[in-house]
Each structure stands twice: as structure tokens, then as C-alpha cells.
Structure 1
């Protein structure tokens, strides 16, 4: 079968909710082999977000909503970066030199944009448009990611984090819902800052003014099926309640901490 840069999960588009998973896959097209890396590197976070594909698919099934999953490893090209981001194609990632990305001719960079990155983002845009049309309202967008339990040798205490820029609509209920469990440590723009110019949320949510949030779950908590099921059971009712709030379905500009909003991509 031909290599697909994205995978679509069916759901009821009239529900007005879309799930995204930029880093769901560690797959590479056959022509790229392993980018010169040993197989062990594809077990690590540098290749994909561990547990995210399973969690996203389970949530989509529980909520009966569509999802778009990235179909290629972030080692090939990172769909959650702007086209002008210097980390779009990594030459070195968490101590691993990536031979297949060194050097990176302009022609090869453009090929990866055309064949993988842009088709993924077109699929995201088309899914959002289809959900908007079917539901008759602006969709709520939730992006699912995962993060390592340690960065270098420093432990990360958070069980999950909610990343965002300036639009608080989806962020406040997510934080409140997760923090209702006193055993959870939930980061607010931790372990990363959610304001990243031209990333997926910027392109598809901040520019058009759609309510959104990026959920990061610690990888050791969703590396096994039992953990995936546990976190899906935890997140599904929170997302269900959020999606029932009319405020989540109004297109409204909040701007960005990264600078003025403008249409950067015109697909």
C-alpha cells in the first residue's frame, strides 16, 4: 500500500469536536529506510509521542468524533512546527545524530514539505471544515501529545499538562477537570509553553479563532493499554462536558503571545 502522511478516524462530524495527534506515528516511507538510525531510536520520544495514537483512537471512539493522526515520524519532518521553524527537520535530537537529515538540501526539504507535511495539514484543515459544515458551528479542537518522564536527568513531576497561547476557553475547564483529582499534578503551560508560532494550533485554531487546547500526558502513564484506557476514561467526560458548552463553538480572535495574527499559509 502507498505510504499515507495522515490517518483519518471516522466520527460524527455533527458533534463539533475534532481530535488531532501530530506525533502519533514513528513510520517512515520505504525510500528513507531508517534515516541511518538503529531500530532502538524508534522506540524513543524523538521518533513519536508514545501512547498518543492509542489514546487518541480510544477517545475518538468513546466520544464518536473524528480524528486526524500524523502518519509519519517527526524525525522525517515535524508537523507541529511552522515551515520556517529551524527545528522542522532535526539533525540532532536528544543526543541522537540523524544521518539521513545531514545534510539537508533545499530540494529534499521541499520534497518532505510537499509529500508529508502539507498533506497532513490539508487533512486537518479539511476535517475541521467538514465538521464545521456538518455541525453548523465552529468546532472545538483538542490536540493530544505526550512527554517524557525525565528531561535529561531531571524528573518531570506533572502527570499531564495543558498548553495554550491566549485563548482560555478550553484551557480553564480542562485544568479544572483534571485538577479535581487531588492526586494529579497538572501543568499550566508545562512542561512546554503553548505559544509556538505557526505550529498546528496556531495555523488551524489561533488564526481562525477556534477554541482549542493541547493536552500533554506523561509517556510512562500511557505506554501500556491499561494506562491508555485509564486516561481515556478520565478525559472523555471532561471533553464531553466542554463540547456541550456553546462558548466553545464561537469563532473568536484572542491573538497570540508570539505576535500579530496573520494568514501565514494559504492552502
Structure 2
């Protein structure tokens, strides 16, 4: 990626549409997965250490990702498969039942908005078209958006199977925009930032305190269209 000495001088009057990731950008998500992982590994403590359990579960998730995709339901299936594998087919029906209940609890969890996000959306929606651009299970994401009370701020909702450059190109085309007129805001460098920069769009990163290992990137990003923020409320002054 290209370095630039003018990053701080960037203006954003040319931005016509702002897309927001949903999970851990609009509301809390990853925390529920990590809590479920802790409970899962506690269920299997007689078979395996916590660290090894985490490792084996992540490996199972990565094997299943191409087939199942992202979200709570695929995660629950991976929990069940990992339990069967870890216990060498000796996992009890009672434990499987508890794992299924973990998934249902996640699906039924209340939506916890991140601090200040509704004010940000309310302010920005007065001047620009806002979009939700997220990945995961369609039914679950629609449920969370409805529970959140944020749907009224968005011009368009896009639930992607993945977040690769081609997925963003399709979204930008659907919005009838040029890539440079599009801004993506999200917590994942891998999914929300890098692919958008690759197609010539703009991307703002707002880190969340917990990040799934699969979403981490090793290299520091330096790009004229990239900006690192500490909280969502900073968007109001930057994009005013």
C-alpha cells in the first residue's frame, strides 16, 4: 500500500455514501463468541486443556468456514463438531444439548449498542446515504438490526457471504458510486479495511477491544484513503 504524507490533510467532501460494519462496529458481538468459547472449553475440561481447546475449536471453524460461512449458527455447528472430535466420539447427549443451548442463548441475546453510535448515525444520515455492509447469517443480522432500533438511519442493508474486493465492488456498483465516493467504517482490518482500499475506496478503522484471530492482519496499514479512529464519535467532526 502507498504511503502518503498528506493523510492528515485529507478532506471527505467527495464521499457520497458511508457503509458501516455491524458486529462490533454498531453493536457488541465478539464478546458473546468468546464467552461461549469459554463455556464450551469448560464443558470439555476433562478431555483437554483450555489452550488446546481454543486451538482445536479455531481449527474446526477454519475448516468449516468455506462451507458454513460466518455467524452464530455456523459457530454452533463447529462447537458440536469440535466436541465430537475432541472426545473421540464420546461426547454425551447432555453436553451436546448444552452446546446447542449456548448457540440459542447467543441468538437470543440483547443487542448492546456501542457508545455514541446512534448519535453518529443520526448526524451523518442528514447529509449522506448510510449503508450497513456486514457478513454473517442473514436472519440473525436482520434480527439484530431490528432489535437495535438503528434501521431507520440506513438507505441500504447488505449482508455479504464474505468481504472480499469483489463483494465491495458489487456493493459500490449497486449504489451507483465510484469507489472513491465510498467510505467503509469497521472494526476489522482484514474484512472492512484492506479490501476496500484495494478497490480504491476509503476506509476508517475503529478497533474493538476483542478481535477474532481470523480477522487479524500482521502488517501496519499506511494509505492515503485510510484513517485510524479511537471511537465512532470522531466521525462527526471528520465528516461534517
- For normalisation by structure 2, the TM-score amounts to 0.35
Higher helix share: 2
Higher strand share: 1
Greater Rg over alpha carbons, structure: 2
Q: Which has the higher contact order (CA 8 A, sep 6+)?
A: 2
